Chain A
């Protein structure tokens, strides 16, 4: 099932399938390690519309909501 990082359940892993946006936007995420094929783990807890924290290959990255909306992931149906 495909979903965005925003909607994805917390404490789950998804694989990035697409980053929707312009070149600069994609290049920034790419440099932080968020790119097609990367598995990310969405951490729990950002309840009031704050940034979403993800864990990817050992480091934590906080991603703002607006950006998280444009990150498409493939997750296993639960």
Chain B
């Protein structure tokens, strides 16, 4: 078997358990559905009400709050302005890539 045929097999086979699992889920969720017309529970109270009402605005709201943390994390951990740390980081990646390239080319 070659790699591309195998990818095809794997992709096709993945649909079978997925179909079984989705059938079980829909059978369970329709049978044990919440009864009555009660209002859904409210969540996401950390975000402004107007942001929650529009999906696009809501996701930008998340990005504003958490994107800043990721930015700070990247700046603090990966590049903190100290040239020496930056050099260590870049060198470690370079060595990693060089090792990978050598493993594959030496074959």
The reply to whether chain A is a binding partner of chain B is no
Q: A residues bordering B, Cβ < 8 Å? A: none
